[in-house]
Amino acid sequence: MLILLKRKSLFLLALLLTGVVSAKEKQEITENLSAKEIQKKEIKDYIMHHLQDSYDFSFFSYTNESGEHVYIGAPLPIILWDKGLKVFSSSKFHHGETVAEVDGNYYAISHNKIYKTDAEGTIIYDEDHHATNEAPLDFSITKGVVSIMFTFLLMFFLFKNLADSYAKNGGIASGVGRFFEPIVLYVRDDIAIPNIGEKKYKKYMSFLLTVFFFVWFLNILGLTPLGINVTGNIAVTFCLALITFLLTNLTGTKDYWLHIFDPLGSSMKWYAKVPLYIILIPIEVLGIFVKPFSLLIRLYANMQAGHIVLMSLIGLMFIFKSWLGSPLSFGLAFAISFIEVLVALLQAYIFTMLSALYFGFASEEHEHHDEIEAH
């Protein structure tokens, strides 16, 4: 009875968390731990695993009668560069449980990274528990990449459709575009124009709109039971922030750079400015990098935290396993889901808003210099 209940709960857990934990890692810790502790560890591993990218797209997994893990989902292509291009299906790894052999080379997955190993899949760890094996360049189509591709197609068709509907419908949006048109206008009228200014906002519009919808859609996608966590991945937010950084500094006007390297301007004599600038200029230069860095950490941390909270609450259900505790954690998870829907939009808004603000700094042109002269 107890075993049956546990199996059932494991199945449900797997269904909700859609994570994959390698059997090997689990074996290491199963000894000398109580059942409750094992379960806690399992839930923690599920959450941690879910937050990371994955080499296959599994919807859920369960343990069958004979104690085997059964995964429902699809394997994804692995693309490696290891003295030549190696392309193979991730099914060769059997969800990280076995070693994949390709053209006489052996690869194994450890801590969600692919390493080159020997035929037994031995991974040597140093004292900090880092794998010392050679890691090939990994350009695999992971779950995250698939999600990005899906968002790519979704956005392209959605907004292409909206653009076409104007031509067909005499300048009025039709269909689902009626929902998105006000949002496009909101980005233009309440994010781009107030922060960048009427004159220069146009050249940043494409980026602002794309990044807004991209982040929003991926955030929402992360709330579906597909268990996708793309915007909570540091590589993705880094890329977005990097583009903001490049756009800001490549389109920076003379005034923008003057503001960084001569922040006090003509309000002081040059010899008074020198000691101040020893401190000020490094701070301003640091600011160039801190601004986009805050963008990437904010989005990453918010999405990551949201997923951890939500999944921990769901996980609590399986720890409590009582008529009082489980409904409570369900209710909490339900409420947090609503907040997460708002956070998904809010984070997209904040990312876009702050990017627009930085573009506004980059494109500022002071007119008050002339005013002072005129007075």
Partner 1 sequence: MEKLLEEFSLGLFVWQTILFVALLLLLKKFAWKPILDAVNERETSIRESLSAAEKAREDMEAVQADNKRILKQARSERDALLAEAKTESTKIVNQAKEDAKAEADKITAQAQVTIQNEKNAAINELKGQVASLSIDIAAKVLQTELKDQAAQEKFVSELVKEIEVK
Of 280, 283, 279, 278, the residue nearest 264 (C-alpha): 280
Q: How far is the CB of 71 from partner 1 (least distance, A)?
A: 21
Distance from C-alpha of 300 to C-alpha of 51, rounded to nearest angstrom: 11
243-272 positions binding partner 1, by CB under 8 A = 243
Query: Count residues contacting partner 1 (CB under 8 A)?
Result: 47
Complex with partner 1: residue 214 or 318, whichever CB lies closer: 214
Taking CB under 8 A as the criterion, the residue among 15, 102, 193, 205 binding partner 1 is 205
Alpha carbon distances (Å) from 150 to 111, 157, 218, 357, 370: 26, 11, 9, 29, 51
The reply to whether 238 sits near partner 1 by the rule CB under 8 A is yes
Task: Give yes or no for residue 240 binding partner 1 (CB under 8 A).
Answer: yes
What is the rounded (10 degree) CA torsion for 179, 180, 186, 192?
Answer: 180
Residues 156-195 that bind partner 1 (CB under 8 A): 156, 159-160, 162-164, 166-167, 171-172, 181, 184-185, 188
Q: How far is the CB of 59 from partner 1 (least distance, A)?
A: 21
Q: Which of residues 270-289 bind partner 1 (CB under 8 A)?
A: none
214 binds partner 1 (CB under 8 A): yes
Q: Which of residues 62-81 bind partner 1 (CB under 8 A)?
A: 79
Q: Binding string, 134-153, against partner 1, x = CB under 8 A?
A: ---xxxxxx-xx--xx--x-
Q: Which residues bind to partner 1, rule: CB under 8 A?
A: 52-53, 79, 111, 137-142, 144-145, 148-149, 152, 155-156, 159-160, 162-164, 166-167, 171-172, 181, 184-185, 188, 202, 205-207, 209-210, 214, 233-236, 238-240, 242-243, 300
